[in-house]
Structure 1
Amino acid sequence: MDYIHEILKIATTEPKKAVLATIIDVEGSAYRKEGAAMLIQEDGETIGVISGGCLENDLQERAKLLLEGESQCIVYDLKSEDDLSWGKGAGCNGVIRILLECIDDRLRKHLSRLHDLLQNGKDVFILKQLGKNFSVSNYLFFTEDTETFGEWAGAVPKQIDAIAAQEKSGLVWVNELSSYVYVQRFEPKPRLIIFGAGSDAVPLSHFASRTGFSVIVSDWREALCNRWRFPGADQLIIAFPREAATKISFSPRDFVVLLTHQFQQDQELLKLLLQQNLRYIGVIGSKERTKRLLGDQEIPRNVHSPVGLSIGAEGPEEIAISILAELIQLKKLRSPQKVRA
């Protein structure tokens, strides 16, 4: 799970002193990759994970010394398999660079703006120029529509689009700056819209909200679609399909799952949804049923039927896991896109 949304929420709303730890480089294998982050607050509370438990305690101790200091980079060599080294017998066989940054008032303000932009459905990129010992000398946030903010002195690299267009977070050497730059792309929470509030929707909503999805549940039955059954959902819509669809501003990022278990409702919904540009439409039931919903026409590529990965799932919880596994698999796939026009 990507904890950045939870980290930003806490870091920008709670006045506690805190340190942000971010993996900026991995050589070999490691539990988590570049971009993974953890917030360490002055009282010792943490949000997010950096490793499988190997590094967190040491990072907490180092963070205590950094609450008023400058950023620094810590290198952990996990290649050794003896218990006296950082490898601790885990055999991860990787070298990890972790950037520690004290969240002062200026950074908190910029993180708050980052959080707002993500809440509004925008991608945001960050460039962090790294100086001696990989400490941060400049940082710049920017969006596809050219909004910029941060603490950056001097000229911004001309190849900013090319730098940010790389597919994953990590270090890039920039000749123009004669230094390394850490680049990361932040994306809005993926949104899962569940039509139908039956017994199989309950674990799906719960698991999805716990794994980083923003969840909307819609059903025309108030006895089923309520906070008691869906405490983790971000929004509940009590309405019949056609009315519910008018209340949602769909986006190409959205994942939608049809769980009404009623043929006519699914048929009406599917007709409406196919008019939208959606990342994923999952339909419960067999392919034959879905073809009948479509009037025997070919099933579009973004319509997944039967919904979920084929793992022999039975019962609401297992079916929810199979669906969520497919959503996570698709969420991790993305094609490079231009940063700015």
Structure 2
Amino acid sequence: MKELQDILKTFEQIKHSRSAIATVVKTSGSVYRRPGARMLITESGQMVGAISGGCLESDIVERSQPLILHNGEPILVEYDTTASNDLVWGLGMGCNGTVQVLIESLHCGSAQNQLEFIAECFRYHQPGVVATVFDIKGEVAASIASRLYLHSDGTVKSEIGDRQLAAYLQHDAYGVLTEGKTKVVSYSLDHGSVDVLIEVIRPPVPLLVFGAGYDAVPIVQLAKQLGWHVTVIDRRPAYATRDRFPDADEIIVCHPEELSTKLNLNPQMVAVVLTHNYLSDQMLLQTLLPSPVRYLGLLGAKPRSQQLLEDLRKEGFIPSKNQLQRLYAPVGLDIGAETAAEIALSVVAEIQAVLAQREGNHLRFRQGSIHGETEPCLTLV
């Protein structure tokens, strides 16, 4: 997320200069990055973002120069690290996969449009889908790097000339938006075939931090390093200050009972409660547990959390099973955290694991791909 934000920021700064964008559009086997990874290349050779662990970037920069200097047509480059005699790209690292990378001049309207669409998704905190054509065989009324865009409200914008292909892309884009999972699709058409990356664009994770004490500071800092949108909420104006939280996107001073008038809670949000005040935590739980937030972390020992819930039940507030499943108390992964910085790492790592639907276990115990599957699928039309 932060990487893509850096690309958008750099593009805005150099919009009138020559540059190119490289996008991983298809992979197989063991690779470092997955489809959707991007890297911006300036005329001077500056790189923002990455499309590998460092072994492919220099070649991408070299291949991008003709596009940057002469506004060349988009090109598709394939790197195969599966060959036993691969001495260039493998670099003895033991990679065993293939990567296809689409390189485009950012003087091209379609290349600019994709970045502007992503920036819009981020700005309005709404997901979207970009479908990018990256390989064509036969006679198809489409071009490499032509795209279809789907907004969260269902609005569609298409650069695809082939109406049949555009219709199928629109259908599949709705599916990707619903599932929240990027796909690489091969379409077999009447007069040829087309490979398309259908990519879900997720806006920055909206994190609500309730409590502006010293232990909230590293949580905000770490979340911002990941590119999340962070809001700090506290009832104490002396604590909830811009000097204390210079990286926070928003700072709200309010009491727990005023929360509903200050925030519109939605299913994209995640929340962490660390007020260190029992009554404040109790009131926040009454508001946040029935809300649609997809993660709720509560700082404090397990007996304290259990007592909070028990006291709420005595007052007639009985959380449902689904509500309690979204409550993580005590908050954080078990990494032996003691200091505020270590606790912040534990908390942010747990949120990331929950959002990715992972257990937060050791990777050496994981069966299958580290990244999860983004396998190509075949659609016959």
Q: Give the TM-score, by structure 1 length.
A: 0.89
2:171 paired with 1:161: yes
Q: Is the 8 A contact 2:272 2:298 kept in 1?
A: yes
Which amino acid counterpart does residue 45 of structure 1 have in structure 2? Q
Note the C-alpha offset of 1:10.
3.3
2:23 paired with 1:22: yes
Q: 1:339 — aligned with what?
A: none
List alignment gaps of at least 5 residues for structure 1: 335-341
Q: Out of 285, 290, 293, which is 2:305 matched to?
A: 290
Moved more, 45-54 or 166-175: 166-175
Q: Out of 75, 86, 90, which is 1:87 matched to?
A: 90
Moved more, 228-237 or 303-312: 228-237
**Greater helix share, 1 or 2?**
2
The separation in 2 between residues aligned to 1:30 and 1:162, in whole angstroms, is 25
Q: 1:44 — aligned with what?
A: 45
Moved more, 206-215 or 12-21: 12-21
Q: 1:326 — aligned with what?
A: 350
Moved more, 29-38 or 102-111: 102-111
Moved more, 100-109 or 121-130: 100-109
List alignment gaps of at least 5 residues for structure 2: 359-381
Segments of 4+ in structure 1 off by > 4 A? 80-83, 132-135, 296-299
SS in 1 for 2:325: coil
1:218-249 CA-to-partner distances (Å, cap 9, x unmatched) read 12233322223222211111222233442222
Structure 1 residues 221 and 46, CA gap change in structure 2 (3 angstroms): farther
Q: 1:269 — aligned with what?
A: 284
Q: 2:123 — aligned with what?
A: 119
Q: Is the 8 A contact 1:80 1:88 kept in 2?
A: no
2:64 paired with 1:60: no
Q: 1:189 — aligned with what?
A: 204
SS in 2 for 1:95: strand
The separation in 2 between residues aligned to 1:94 and 1:14, in whole angstroms, is 34
Q: Give the TM-score, by structure 2 length.
A: 0.80
Q: 1:237 — aligned with what?
A: 252
Q: How many residues matched?
A: 334
1:253-311 CA-to-partner distances (Å, cap 9, x unmatched) read 11100011110111111111123111011000123212222225567111110001112
Structure 1 residues 143 and 224, CA gap change in structure 2 (3 angstroms): same
Q: Taking every aligned residue pair, what percent have the same amino acid on both sides? A: 35
Note the C-alpha offset of 1:92.
1.6
Q: 1:4 — aligned with what?
A: 4
1:66-106 CA-to-partner distances (Å, cap 9, x unmatched) read 11111111111223577832010111211111111112262
Q: Is the 8 A contact 1:24 1:169 kept in 2?
A: no
Q: Out of 270, 286, 294, which is 1:255 matched to?
A: 270
Q: 2:330 — aligned with what?
A: 306
Q: Is the 8 A contact 2:35 2:197 kept in 1?
A: no
2:148 paired with 1:140: yes
Q: Is the 8 A contact 2:67 2:73 kept in 1?
A: yes
The separation in 2 between residues aligned to 1:73 and 1:109, in whole angstroms, is 19
The separation in 1 between residues aligned to 2:188 and 2:223, in whole angstroms, is 42
Q: Is the 8 A contact 1:205 1:215 kept in 2?
A: yes
Q: 1:218 — aligned with what?
A: 233
Structure 1 residues 144 and 223, CA gap change in structure 2 (3 angstroms): closer
The separation in 1 between residues aligned to 2:238 and 2:182, in whole angstroms, is 45
1:187-206 CA-to-partner distances (Å, cap 9, x unmatched) read 11111110111111111110
